[in-house]
Amino acid sequence: MLVLGYAGHRRHGWTGDIDGKLKSRLRHSFSYRTIFGALTSFGENIEDLPLNLFPLDGVGHDSAAAILQNGKLAAAAAEERFCRLKHATARGGRTFGPRQAAEFCFRQVGASFEDAEHIAFYCDFSKEAIEERIAAMQPHLAPDIRQRVIDAYHAVYSGTVSNERIAEEIAELFDGRVSGAKIHFVPHHLAHAASAFYSSGYREAGVLTIDGFGEKSSSIFALGGPDGLKVIEETLLPGSLGVLYMMMTAFLGFKPLDGEYKVMGLASYGDPKTYAKEFADLIEQQPDGSCLTTKLVRPDFGKYVEELFGPARPAGGPVTQREMDIAAALQKGFEDAMLDRMAYLKDKYAIERICLSGGVALNVVMTGKLARSEMFKQTYVFPAAGDDGASIGAAQYVYHDILRQPPPSAPVRTMSLGPAFSRNQVAQALENHAGKLLFHKLDNVEEAVADALVEGKVVGWFQGRMEFGPRALGNRSILADPRTDEMREVVNVRVKLREEFRPFAPAALAEMSDDYFDMSGVVRSNFMEFVVPARPLGAENAKAVVHVDGSARIQTVERGDNEPFWKIIDAFRRRTGVPIILNTSFNVRGEPIVCTPEDAIRCFLSTNIDLLVIEGYMVAKKVGRVLQEDMASPAIDD
């Protein structure tokens, strides 16, 4: 049985009239000095709502596809990796359906579109769901904007996101070749919940999902067990910690859905007490730990926030102590709210295990504090917790809850679910750039990479199947020596072209990680799900990957999960005594992680990465400081 999971969609209203609506949206964006100003003001068209009013046309980013073959997760990929546009979103907001990602998934299992039996879409925009959203929002909307918001929901629903329109889109996207498949519309947060519960391997657990918003809610709490998922509680709009965090990300001059990681990293430089009162006002904590955040839907929300904090920071503007303190207060208020919510749920329902998903679960500082608190015996965070991962969850929900197939007996152990490339394909890509590259085959790849790292080289590392989700986990990575402060600056500024305050992750041998980092309550962090404190040994020997507050977003690497990557770290350990390397995603700011050999070569040539190691080939540039005269370009393998 083949079940295709589908996340994201093409915004018909924007793609159909390039000369009209799309240009109108661009004019609207460019007429404001700050991202925050553009996102908190009404556009020219009736359906152009500010982000803080939860616009339906905000749905669709991070398109992805996943496929279950007889219940086994066989493949998953985000469309951004193929179209090379982050979040599969073009300038002006136009989004792309997961055509190329789905094509890959079917190829991976040796099938074609016609073989799909079930298609699981990650939202259920029924007419009833829209009316429930309106009913939840209406009491909180000011009279002067109420009707426009309601009209906007109806307009976008009928023109873009109704189940009927989505069914038409799916038929168009796959050229009518999936007509034999049954389409299931899975409520958004149930898709997130399924991704966490059915990937955890737990027999029973509480499941909390939280993100910006789905159909009518921003969060659900469900109980997962042998009979499936049962929703117990729901946080209705306008309660949304996720949207509040997004709006403050924009206020701080970063792009929502992309810059939240920056805010989380920036928070460590600030004092949360400076703006604690302001965030206590924005985050309206309830006795059950949920948050109302009703200030979001004020018609003058933008002006209100600027009265609290001063003018919004322009994108690219200087980052001052004010921005650091705002980020710190936001992060602290967010963490307190999340931990209060989970403490309430644990006490009320006597749960011992918690599963988390939804974009908010990617806040690894919060999840690290939760795990280390040992509030629960086990804490599981789905590695691809954002909307791309809902493609997996939608498929799992259909397979286990709708088709009533038995739950998995073991956890998902790998996120290496994307495409891999043969040596012939790699060699051909290298030959295509032979005028700019020198390359040769390596006999002992891991030893050569370790030698390069010890010499201070920054290495692009490409092997095996591409990872799914936001993290590079040792298949599409940039690697460096973690031992000095200087290497953090080298990789951030000279290679990744990103802000200096952003931290890097240590990839550590799992069996030695607790010597260098305090793994209390965490045990495993194979997918960089948790931030933990560095022990003195880690702070002294891994300075490039320990953040200013003494913490690190650790990746524990087990030999059985990724042996080639484990061998690199072990070879580095044998040379230096340190079982850790710096691991960051193989991309530069503004681009998705590389997918193909061609992507990797293009990124290598356009950056100050010193060496590229790709499926057994060592690659250097013919021009540049990494020139190695003893290299030669070999013939392509037979």
CATH number at residue 215: 3.30.420.40
- Give the pairing of strands 551-557 and 64-69: unpaired
CA distance 284 to 341: 12
3-state secondary structure 68-96: EECCEEEEEEECHHHHCCHHHECCCCCEC
Determine what percent of the chain is predicted with pLDDT higher than 90: 87
Do 108 and 238 sit in the same domain of this protein? no
CATH number at residue 617: 3.90.870.20
Kindly state whether residues 262 and 120 are assigned to the same domain: no
Whether residue 287 is predicted with pLDDT greater than 90 in this model: the reply is no
- Among 200, 215, 238, the domain boundary falls at 200
CB 552 within 8 A of CB 478: no
Q: Are residues 227 and 369 in the same domain?
A: yes
Average pLDDT over residues 336-354: 96
With respect to residue 638, please indicate whether it lies within any of the assigned structural domains.
no
Judge whether 394 lies within some domain. no
Does 194 have pLDDT greater than 60?
yes
> What confidence tens digit (pLDDT) does each residue in 572-619 have?
999 999 999 999 999 988 899 999 999 999 999 999 999 999 999 999
* Span 373-417, pLDDT tens digits: 999 999 999 999 999 999 999 999 999 999 999 999 899 999 999
Retrieve residue 574's tokens: 């044998």
State which H helix or E strand residue 374 sits in: none
In a domain, 216, yes or no: yes
Closest CA to 248 of 295, 312, 193: 312
The predicted structure's pLDDT at residue 318: 95
Total domains present in the chain: 3
What is the reported pLDDT for 9? 87
- pLDDT classification of 627: cutoffs 50, 70, 90: very low
Whether residue 178 is found in the same domain as residue 227? no
Q: Is residue 636 part of a domain?
A: no
Q: Please tell me whether residues 230 and 301 are part of one structural domain.
A: yes
224-260 pLDDT per residue, tens: 999 999 999 999 999 999 999 999 999 999 999 889 9
pTM as predicted: 0.95
Assign 23 a pLDDT band (cuts: 50, 70, 90).
Answer: low
**Is 402 part of any domain?**
no
Q: Are 333 and 365 in contact (CB under 8 A)?
A: no
Lowest mean pLDDT among 11-20, 273-282, 309-318: 11-20
Is residue 397 domain-resident?
no
Model pLDDT for residues 453-487, shown as the tens digit of each residue: 999 999 999 999 999 999 999 999 999 999 999 99
Checking if the pLDDT of 91 tops 90, the result is: no
**What is the sign, positive or negative, of the torsion defined by CA atoms of 603, 604, 605, 606?**
positive
Instruction: Say whether both 315 and 376 belong to one domain.
Output: yes
Query: Which residues form the domain of 606?
Result: 423-621
Residue 20 vs residue 477, higher pLDDT: 477
Q: For 529-556, write each residue's pLDDT tens digit.
A: 999 999 999 999 999 999 999 999 999 9
**Beta carbons of 62 and 7 less than 8 angstroms apart:** yes
Same structural domain, 456 and 603? yes
Do 125 and 166 belong to one domain? Answer: yes
User: Is the residue at 634 inside a domain?
Assistant: no
The torsion angles phi and psi of 612, rounded to 5 degrees, stand at -120, 125
Mean pLDDT of 619-630: 62
If asked whether residues 455 and 578 sit together in one domain, one would say yes
Residues 517 and 534 placed together within one structural domain of the fold: yes
Domain boundary among 200, 233, 263: 200
State the pLDDT confidence band at 95, using cuts at 50, 70 and 90. confident
Task: Please indicate, yes or no, if residue 408 is contained in any of the structural domains.
Answer: no
**How close are the terminal C-alpha atoms of the chain, in Å?**
36
Q: Would the pLDDT of 636 be above 60? A: no
Pairing of the two strands 64-69 and 72-78: antiparallel
Q: Are residues 209 and 324 in the same domain?
A: yes
Q: Are residues 192 and 221 in the same domain?
A: no
- Rounded to an integer, the average pLDDT of 554-576 is 98
